[in-house]
Amino acid sequence: MRGRYWRLVALGLVVGSVAGAQGRTGSGDASRLSAGIEARTLKNGLKIIVWPDHDIPNVALFNWFRVGSRNERPGITGLSHFFEHMMFNGAKKYGPGQFDAVMEAAGGSNNAYTSEDVTVYMDWFPRSALETIFDLEADRLANLAFDPKVIESERGVVYSERRSAVDNDNSGALMEQMQATAFVAHPYQFPVIGWPSDIESWRMEDLQRFFKTYYAPNNATLVVVGAVTPAEIFALAEKHLGPIPSQPAPEPVRTQEPEQQGERRIVVRRLAQSPLLQMAWQGMNAKDPDMPALELLLRVLAEGESSRLHRRLVEEEQVAIGVNSHFGQGFDPSLVWLLADLPPGGELAKVEKLFEEELAKVRAQGVTDAELRKAKNITVAEFWRGLETNSQRAQLLGSYEVFQGDWRKLFDAPARYEHVTREQVRKVATRIFNANRRTVGMLIPTDEEQAPEGQRKEAGQ
């Protein structure tokens, strides 16, 4: 996001309580909610999806571009994140500072985020500002300014963001090294925020070529949710965004990560008070049929204080102060992560041994009926809470359209989770938690800063 970058984003759902979700597939509610949603593709290739809901007179507009760090290469890493920032820095009609000022004057607000796979620009505003918002969006897409002074200023902002999120953050620094180690061929190895030397050396021609290629209407999906009608949104899009020409389709990412043939290990030594342990396995893409079972498995293992790993490592053995998990749901298979924060002086080897013991159990025995039921309850309850706001609807509808290829699959999600069996969870544990396909990273505290000098200097120096 502006001010920080969103590293692993796809179909994530918010966390909440579990009451009332048991046994409910929600098929009737889904049918009612999806009624009225319409989609259309303009002649320039821009796809538009409209979800009318007139409960409140507000609107969420999310513009999804299929560009992230997977579309970069050595020398231009971090460019998609850079354009996340640049899109707010002035165009032909609305100059520097005007995008935010005009939107706020109309009662709106905005943000954006970048991941390995997508960059998403988000506007929230009253319906009275509809025409203004479309005018703003069209101006920056058709006429984005490439002022060298603004570019250098924003380069410094991005570099500062990198220092905060990675260079001065032990967990972020270890995770970046893990990602670069776990992938040897696929561009998922690149940090979303970019390598320091690349941030310092992007050239004007790099920026112009990248923008023209990826920020074209035929590489975007516009999702509008709220107090609107499909007809008025299609008309506004045709008027403001229709004249923007399409571009040749971006070159597809053809690289596939070769099969990992053995465990990889890294050790990072940094100024720190406490050790960190991170483990990552080669995972699956968003369309993989095992994805629902994997989501439920990770909830059983590492979500909440009643999860297996929290009970064993934090409460019983008291060797860690926190455990967590996450995984990316992208266009290509990404990583499944388990992470542990240790107390000062904590024993990394002991935590790793306990991790492996718990993973061996789940590979051999799977999960219990009660654990699976709880995981389903949480997941389905979160799904419905995620549809309470215009913003979350725009996020989820866009996610399913972009990553699953059809927004309609959003409404089948509860049934997919309900149909997962204990045997499917055990099989996915065996598939993922294979020692030959994992990368293990340890951060060992030191008394002195070990970061290379180049990572501490200012951009442009």
**Which amino acids are annotated catalytic?**
84
d(CA 452, CA 461): 15
Q: Are the C-beta atoms of 412 and 22 separated by less than 8 Å?
A: no
Pairing of strands 264-271, 438-446: parallel
Q: Which residue type does 126 have?
A: P
CA distances from 459 to 56, 80, 154, 196, 263 (A): 45, 18, 10, 8, 36
Q: Where does 21-169 have alpha helices with state H?
A: 27-34, 79-86, 98-105, 130-143, 148-162
Tokens of 70: 């997977």
With CA atoms as reference, report the closest residue to 154 among 79, 206, 94. Answer: 79
Q: Is 248 helix (H, G, I), strand (E, B) or coil?
A: coil
- How many secondary structure helices (H) and strands (E) does the chain include? 16, 11
With CA atoms as reference, report the closest residue to 147 among 102, 86, 81. Answer: 86
Greatest Cα-to-Cα distance within the chain, rounded to the nearest angstrom: 63
d(CA 30, CA 25): 9
Residues with Cβ within 8 Å of 449's Cβ and at least 6 positions away in sequence, in order, are 270, 271
